[in-house]
Amino acid sequence: MIGPFADARLDLLGSWYGQGQADKVVSILTGLKERFGADKVIYTKGSEPDKDDRSGFAAALNAARSADKVVMAVGHPGFWSGEATSLTSIRIPAIQQELIREVAQSGKPLILVLLNGRPLDLSWESTVADAIVEAWYPGTEGGHAVADVLSGDFNPCGKLTMTFPRNLGQVPIHYDAKNTGRPYTPGQGEQHYVSRYLNEPTATPLYPFGYGLSYTTFEYSDLKVAPEKTDMKQPVAVTVTVKNTGKVRGTEVVQALRARPGSQRNPSDAAVERVRTGNAGAGRKPRSQLHDHVRRGRLLPAGHELRLRARRLQSMGRRQLGRRARGFLRNHEISKQSTPI
């Protein structure tokens, strides 16, 4: 266990922690020791979050070489998020990147646990780490939650509620952005006067809105839309069969995005439904409804707010809808491998 936030407590609370108390926080280091045993976890800090001090690098590399797997807690301090905390860079501080590079020399499987309150540019980290866990600022029980995910006691099912760009130059970037009138078409050879970056092969984000992996895999089939044509005054039901094709039980977050024909925007309406598939090979059929009055990309639980008429949506208020919707897209993981440690 390495990193400036491995044994941090206050940072796990973020900046808007109200009555949260640092001495009540379970650190990531504590969570791992309690789950795997204190004698199984080697710890060294390695560096401070943003101080130009490399005196701990050698100990970090030695610790990594003596371990089976390496977990690094890196990212941004809790007070770097909140009001009046804008940044000109959305990368992990340079000293932490150097620490990651140093530890990676050990050749051991490397898992990064991120603490941050905004999307980050992880274009380099994604090429070095074997897995990345997005923990955000996980709160008082954050250490236990991270240990549950890393050990496989909990099979993560969260999806990103924000888009992670490949670099700062892509910002603003989000799933319902307006389309360009001159899009770049991959595989069509040289193209002039189209929307693209000269120094970036793709305009797509590194991790798009709704991205997130699991320790199992899912197969979608039997997609149906009813009715196929509508006068825009009645809901459209979308059904699909989701099958667990992996080896462990899992929960999948099924997302349905809709775009208006001829619209300048990308999909702007979203329906979200969590589906528990049970054991491998089991299947379920979630049912979502998209209503014409639901706009501006609100994330709504299927079969509830999406069935309400416009007047009812307005009376409930955007703030209440937003809170209820966020409960359906939790905040866990981005990953390149699907095997618990």
CA 155 to CA 270: how far, in whole Å? 24
Q: pLDDT digit string (tens) for 128-187?
A: 999 999 999 999 999 999 999 999 999 999 999 999 999 999 999 988 887 777 888 878
**Bridge partners for 256 per DSSP:** 271
φ/ψ of 80, rounded to 5, equals: -80, -5
Q: Please confirm whether the linkage preceding 267 is cis (ω < 30° from 0).
A: no
- pLDDT at 310 (0 to 100): 24
Q: Would you say 12 and 138 are in contact if contact means Cβ atoms under 8 Å apart?
A: yes
- Dist CA 76 CA 333 (whole Å): 17
- Read off the pTM: 0.80
d(CA 127, CA 76) in angstroms, rounded, equals 20
Q: Locate tokens 């199992």: which residue? A: 216
Beta-ladder partners of 278:
250
Query: Is 25 in a helix, a strand, or coil?
Result: coil
Asked whether 274 and 251 are in contact (CB, 8 A), the reply is yes
Q: Tokens 């250490």 — which residue?
A: 143
Tell me the β-bridge partners of 218: 244
Give residue-wise pLDDT tens across range 286-340: 555 544 333 333 332 333 222 222 222 222 233 333 333 333 333 333 333 344 4
